Amino acid sequence: MNAVFTVLRKELIDGLRDRRSMMSAILFPMIGPLLISFMATTATELQRKSHDVKIPIVGAEQAPGLVNWIERRGYQVVEGPLDPEAAVRDGAVDFVLIVPEDFASNLTKAHTAVIKLVLDGTKKDAVASISHAYGLVEGYGHMMGRLRLIARGISPQIGRPITVEEVDIASERQRAAHFMIFIPMYLILAAFITGMNLAVDTTAGERERQSLEPLLINPVSRLSLLLGKWLSAVVFSCAGVVLTMASLVLAMRRVSWQELGIQLNLGAPEVAGVLLATLPLAFFASGAQVLVSSFARSFKEAQTYISLMVIVPMAPSIIAQLYSLGNEWWMAPIPVLGQQVLMTEVISGEPVSLLSYAATGLSSLVLGLLCVWITARLFTRENVVFGR
């Protein structure tokens, strides 16, 4: 046991002095908040943009009823440009509504009146405001249709045999969890990336700088040595997850979620729950990395294997999302997937049983230990020790 602590202490000192290890442990957590701010600002901008939509209309004087209808809904009607197509093409406006001269007379004769919507289908950022304009004109048209039927003594319901009523059972917090889907992803990545450098440096790095043979000559079991090395990577990984969580929380405090129609409760219990769910993943992540690195002859080789390996644990969660699998009992013990399910539940504000935490955490711990044990066995083999 003493040897484990000796190795752990040495590797931590070594890691703290290593610029590469410290960079990945500190830089990664700092990038998260930048992403959040960017996403939130963009989302808020889009939302604001759609509310401030100005509706440019050419020939507005032909359709005072439509103008009135639009203005009552909080939008501003402005005079349309002289050359609507050129204006849309140049990007001066997103779209232009054109009321033809025969509009009023067609309406009076109970014909179908036409309103032209000039738009550029390739401009993706104009989609929101165009659909607003489209919806406004359609809404006005429906109202006129109902009035025509009523004027002829027919119930408007005759013309609307079917209507759809949406029942959205997602709570606002669940919607927030959906929006926040990348938080679990980011924390899971943090567990893998922030400890990675130590996992590689203490195994493949040890072999590369030819210090493995002198180390193994000491009267200490391979398992003790590897437990110490593994735990040092676990410490870095846990610190990375906590740092990442802290910087995410700080960043999210600065976003106005009300404006996005999202209720995000990330108080102390949720933060604690998310951390409790993620931290044990460090055991598995570091264990798997130590195991993979022990096959590599050099630091670079190990890094290549491990960067490829990050995709493997992501696979279950990606598949689960593709097939939109819910929460099944067998997901809990699968590393990464289990953590993701747990975190999504915590963020959605659903009650999470201690059993789920235990199943997910213990499975990561056991699998991590198994990896370390296999590595220790490998390190008794001559071709692994001497890299032949």
Partner 1 sequence: MICIEGLQKHFDAVAAVDGLDFDVPDGQVTGLLGPNGAGKTTTLRMLYGLMRCDRGHMEVDGVDVVRDPQGAQACMGILPDSRGLYPRLTAREHLRYFGQLHGVDKASLEARIDRLIHNLDMGGIADRRTEGFSQGERVKVALGRALVHDPNTVLLDEPTNGLDVMGTRAMRTIIRQMRAAGKCVLFSSHIMQEVSALCDRIVIISAGRIVAQGTPEDLLEQSGHDTLEDAFVTLTGIDEVAR
309: CB partners within 8 A, 6+ apart: 288, 289, 292
Among 79, 125, 213, 350, binds partner 1 (CB under 8 A): 213
Supply the minimum distance, in Å, between the C-beta of residue 241 and partner 1. Answer: 24
Among 74, 121, 214, 267, binds partner 1 (CB under 8 A): 214
Among 1, 8, 13, 297, binds partner 1 (CB under 8 A): 13
DSSP output for 165-178: -------HHHHHHH
* Token representation of residue 100: 């033809």
Among 108, 210, 256, 324, binds partner 1 (CB under 8 A): 210
Q: How far apart are the first and last CA of the chain?
A: 31
**Rg of the chain's alpha carbons, rounded to an integer?**
30
Rounded Cα distance between 181 and 176, Å, is 9
Rounded Cα distance between 171 and 81, Å, is 43
* Cβ pair 302, 204 in contact under 8 A: yes
Told to check if 304 binds partner 1 by CB under 8 A, we report no
Supply the minimum distance, in Å, between the C-beta of residue 304 and partner 1. Answer: 22
CB-side neighbour CA atoms (13 Å) of 282? 25
Among 48, 51, 54, 209, binds partner 1 (CB under 8 A): 209
Among 2, 112, 122, 324, binds partner 1 (CB under 8 A): 2
Among 82, 217, 354, 355, binds partner 1 (CB under 8 A): 217
CB atoms within 10 A of CB 328: 10
Among 74, 121, 153, 219, binds partner 1 (CB under 8 A): 219
Supply the minimum distance, in Å, between the C-beta of residue 225 and partner 1. Answer: 9
**Among all chains, which residue has been given the structure tokens 């809904």?**
73
Told to check if 82 binds partner 1 by CB under 8 A, we report no
- # residues contacting partner 1 (CB under 8 A): 26
Q: Compare residues 71 and 213 and give the one whose CB is closer to partner 1.
A: 213
Told to check if 310 binds partner 1 by CB under 8 A, we report no
Told to check if 54 binds partner 1 by CB under 8 A, we report no
* Cβ pair 379, 204 in contact under 8 A: no
Told to check if 1 binds partner 1 by CB under 8 A, we report no
Told to check if 218 binds partner 1 by CB under 8 A, we report yes
Told to check if 300 binds partner 1 by CB under 8 A, we report no
Distance (Å) of CA 267 to CA 81, 137, 271: 50, 44, 6
Told to check if 122 binds partner 1 by CB under 8 A, we report no
Q: How does DSSP classify residue 381?
A: S
Rounded Cα distance between 278 and 272, Å, is 10
Segment contacting partner 1 (CB under 8 A): 47-55, 83-91, 122-130, 217-225? 217-225
Among 101, 165, 168, 382, binds partner 1 (CB under 8 A): 382
Supply the minimum distance, in Å, between the C-beta of residue 1 and partner 1. Answer: 12
Told to check if 131 binds partner 1 by CB under 8 A, we report no
The enclosing H or E element of 227 equals helix 222-253
Q: By rule CB under 8 A, what string of x and - marks binding of each residue 179-208 to partner 1? A: ---------------------------x--
**Among all chains, which residue has been given the structure tokens 């607003």?**
132
Told to check if 307 binds partner 1 by CB under 8 A, we report no
21: CB partners within 8 A, 6+ apart: 15, 197, 198, 201, 236
Rounded Cα distance between 388 and 149, Å, is 89
What residue ranges bind partner 1 (CB under 8 A)? 2-3, 6-7, 10, 13-14, 17-18, 206, 209-221, 382, 385-386
